[in-house]
Amino acid sequence: MNDVRLAVLVSGSGTILESIVGYGIDVSVVVADRSCRALEVANRLKIDPILIDRMAFGGFSQQFDRAGYTESLTDRLQNERIDLIAMAGFGTVLTGAFHDAFPGRVLNTHPSLLPAFKGWHAVREALSAGASVTGCTVHVATVELDDGPILAQRAVDVIVGDSEESLHERIKLVERDIYPVVIEAAMAAVSHGELVSDVRIN
């Protein structure tokens, strides 16, 4: 799988990136949409850190140039000859042009058992709904938020007295365990010319 070039997209602390590398996966580049600890992690791990700062495209205002940002990111990844992309807490929603450029080769992890509790506040909504079980889903990302073929899921029990923070932390532990396994299988699929969407981890 050394011939498969993997990019990890980040926005935060880099703990998922650390779990991916710790699993033994070769990451070619790390791309962030803002200054964050994950870039420092990449540098420490001797992975090429790339900052394509959304502040240059309007930041977090209503004037954010989503199409322009998507084009810049996509061009850079194509120039880096990237084959597979793993979103790891990446906070910018990209346009369909990104998914058209990497069809079926963008992975994402989400803190719920999809299709339940899509969106940015999945853990909060699970608690509000009184769910007794939630979890983590790894799926192929599409232009539709938190959609696409599901590759793996792991359940996490909701404990009486859980806060959003405590429940999310337990989900993150599962996420760091299962995501690298799926990424490794997806890299093998790409290496053999197979569809990432056919990967299933039980």
pLDDT at 165 over 60: yes
Comparing C-alpha atoms, which of 59, 21, 23, 66 is closest to residue 41? Answer: 21
pLDDT digits (tens, 9 = 90+) for 175-192: 999 999 999 999 999 999
pLDDT digits (tens, 9 = 90+) for 78-111: 999 999 999 999 999 999 999 999 999 999 999 9
Note the pTM of the prediction, 2 decimals: 0.95
Does 110 qualify as catalytic in the annotation? Answer: yes
Domain residue ranges of the chain, discontinuous segments joined by +: 6-196
Strand ranges, E, within 11-59: 29-32, 48-51
Which residue among 110, 139, 168, 192 is the active-site one? 110
Determine whether domain 6-196 maps to CATH 3.40.50.720: no
Neighbours of 10 (CB within 10 A): 28
**Residue 11 corresponds to which tokens in the numbers above?**
């926005």
Beta partners for 9? 31, 87
Burial of 121-132, coded b for 16+ CB within 10 Å and e otherwise, reads ebbebbbeeebe
The backbone region for 24, taken as left when phi is positive above 0, alpha when psi lies in -120 to 50, beta otherwise, is left
